[in-house]
Amino acid sequence: MRLSVAYVLGLIGFAVSQSVDSYVSSESPIAKAGLLANIGPSGSKANGAKAGLVIASPSTSNPNYLYTWTRDSSLVFKTLIDQFTSGADTSLRGLIDDFFSAESQLQQTSNPSGTVSTGGLGEPKFNIDGTAFTGPWGRPQRDGPALRATALISYANWLQANGNSTFVSSEMWPIIKLDLDYVAANWNQATFDLWEEIQSSSFFTTAVQHRALREGATLAAALGQTASSYWNSNNYITANTGGGRSRIDANTVLASIHTFDPAAGCDAVTFQPCSDKALASLKVYVDSFRSVYSLNGGVAVNAAVTTGRYPEDVYMGGNPWYLTTFAVSEQLYDALIVWKKQGSIEVTSTSLPFFNQFSSGITAGTYSSSSSTFSTLIGAIQTFADGFVALNAKYTPSNGGLAEQYDKSSGSPVSAVDLTWSYASALTAFSARSGDSSPSWGASTAKVPATCSNGGTVAVTFTENATTQLGENIYLTGSVAALQNWSPDTALLLSSADYPNWSITVNLPASTAVQYKFIRKFNGQVTWESDPNRQLTTPATGTLTENDTWR
């Protein structure tokens, strides 16, 4: 008997989908329970955590994640709030109220980033009893307030619609507004990225800030941002403006799923999961892991592979992450939801390389649901998406526990155990797979300008060649607020990703003469570069690059 290639692929797809079905049904309750176990005060693994605070993981050494991060907590609670407001789990209300009050108190907790009115909202993590964490850390991280606002707004919208608008306007709005005001005031300042390593502009941070500001209706007109300035001519989104790596990063996949709006079609400006730019970027991102993990060896070039934060990652050995591999499947499931709903798939020259993986020789055009190309693509992309879940399933230990990473060669769990965010990422991917999406946040009515107007600033990239000893770091300060007004204490930390070149990108006022210097900090001691001050004048538009050597 002769079997056609299409028939065999169909059988494989069927087998993958069966095993993914069974993983989804066994893992769902484990992920939900694992997530709830990590929330204070009564989560079984969250001993000592204040009511409503999420511990990142119960792991207390190598790494110690027994802290509460605003980013992780907000993404986790967005998952729970969606389950509550959709009616999938109506028992969660008390926990959500606890989250709201715990986060309102964190906002008021003075910390190394400042007080509530001087930048403290950008503090990335706190102790689990709600006190400030005062050790050194990559701060500020400006995605936190935006993600928290988005989570709280989704709960507030439900309360509004369900007869509790007094609570929303008198209790919740002031809290949400603090976060939105922080975002509006600081969105164009450099930030540590979501992986807490690079201080620069970062696509994920900008995208979630844009969403939060859109949702905060009274602030909607304050500013518009765009994803387009991050577009790279090699067909992907530049994830960060600094860091000196390839800048291919899961940050873009996470931006796409966390700003998904089922009512916005395949809009590329708001980077919807099925937009040509998001799909093109997804392919470049996934492909970047094909040769870096031995687990991915021998896999067909158009089949799913395990993915991590970014290909150059070395943290804990540099391994695949559950939450990024789930995020890839979720972006694809989100795209499938929209294509099926609109009854067509548009292929553009930008997304052609992505679609070519599933239908070789396909050309740009719109394929309606009555065409065979449409059914081929839907089937193949569903199988591709399931492939990512199947890989996570394969590397999930038999108790269903999800750590942060799994070893790139052996597949055994690595780094923090029971990572709450891993569990949340499983639940949201499973829910997208079953065709569910969170409510619209208004992306389709967003007035996003075609180019980035950032209030008269230009991005200046500073690179300083400096040899340092272990533990010594290079910072930048200078004569304008964006350079911390000559303050050595708050000087900006440069990234050493390209050591001995240290670099940072900062938005400075346009057409302005600026003086600056680099400083070294070692064991609390500050050493300034020799005089005179360095000088530059920013252009009216565009960008500027400064290359200096320590003196």
Instruction: Specify the stretch interacting with ligand NOJ by CB under 6 A; choose among 63-71, 239-247, 467-475, 527-535.
Output: 63-71
CB 65 to ligand NOJ: min, Å: 5
| Lookup: tokens for 458 | 């230009």
| Residue 536, SS3 per DSSP | strand
Q: Is 71 in the site for ligand NOJ (CB under 6 A)?
A: yes
Annotated active-site residue 193? The verdict is yes
Residue from 75, 73, 81, 87 nearest 43 by CA: 73
267 contacts 275 by C-beta, under 8 angstroms = yes
CB 198 to ligand NOJ: min, Å: 10
Q: State which of residues 31, 46, 65, 384 lies at the interface with ligand NOJ (CB under 6 A).
A: 65
CB 125 to ligand NOJ: min, Å: 7
E strand residue ranges, 335-403? 344-347, 365-368
Query: In terms of CB distance, is 324 or 505 closer to ligand NOJ?
Result: 324
> Catalytic pick from 196, 346, 436, 472?
196
Instruction: Specify the stretch interacting with ligand NOJ by CB under 6 A; choose among 35-43, 65-73, 148-156, 360-368.
Output: 65-73
- Judged by CB under 6 A, the chain residues 418 through 437 that form the site for ligand NOJ are 421
Q: Amino acid identity, residue 334?
A: D
Annotated active-site residue 529? The verdict is no
Which sign, positive or negative, has the C-alpha torsion 522, 205, 71, 272? negative
Q: Amino acid identity, residue 507?
A: N
Q: Is 486 in the site for ligand NOJ (CB under 6 A)?
A: no
Q: Amino acid identity, residue 282?
A: L
Q: Is 315 in the site for ligand NOJ (CB under 6 A)?
A: yes
What is the rounded CA–CA span in Å between residue 500 and residue 522? 16
| Lookup: tokens for 529 | 């570069």
The residues, any chain, with a CB within 8 Å of residue 102's CB and separated by 6 or more, are 40, 50, 51, 52, 53, 130
β-strand partners of 368: 344
CB 246 to ligand NOJ: min, Å: 16
Q: Amino acid identity, residue 33?
A: A
Q: Is 326 in the site for ligand NOJ (CB under 6 A)?
A: no
95 contacts 39 by C-beta, under 8 angstroms = yes
Residue from 394, 343, 387 nearest 367 by CA: 343
CB 28 to ligand NOJ: min, Å: 22
101-to-77, 152, 287, 514 alpha-carbon distances in Å: 13, 11, 43, 43
Query: In terms of CB distance, is 72 or 287 closer to ligand NOJ?
Result: 72
Say which residue the tokens 């969660």 belong to.
92
Residue from 79, 61, 102, 55 nearest 418 by CA: 55
CB 421 to ligand NOJ: min, Å: 6
For residues 380 to 419, the per-residue mask of contacts with ligand NOJ, x marking binding by CB under 6 A and - elsewhere, is ----------------------------------------
CB 121 to ligand NOJ: min, Å: 16
The total of other beta-carbon atoms located within 10 Å of residue 108's CB is 12
Query: In terms of CB distance, is 72 or 407 closer to ligand NOJ?
Result: 72
Residue 137 annotated as binding site: yes
> Catalytic pick from 72, 98, 123, 193?
193
Say which residue the tokens 């990572």 belong to.
419
For residues 141 to 180, the per-residue mask of contacts with ligand NOJ, x marking binding by CB under 6 A and - elsewhere, is ----------------------------------------
Quick one: CA torsion of 130, 131, 132, 136, rounded to 10 degrees? -100
Size of the site for ligand NOJ (CB under 6 A): 11
- Judged by CB under 6 A, the chain residues 178 through 217 that form the site for ligand NOJ are 194-197
Q: Is 69 in the site for ligand NOJ (CB under 6 A)?
A: yes
Positions that interact with ligand NOJ (CB under 6 A): 56, 65, 69, 71-72, 194-197, 315, 421
For the annotated binding site for substrate, the residues are: 137
Task: Tell me the catalytic residues.
Answer: 193, 196
For the annotated binding site, the residues are: 137
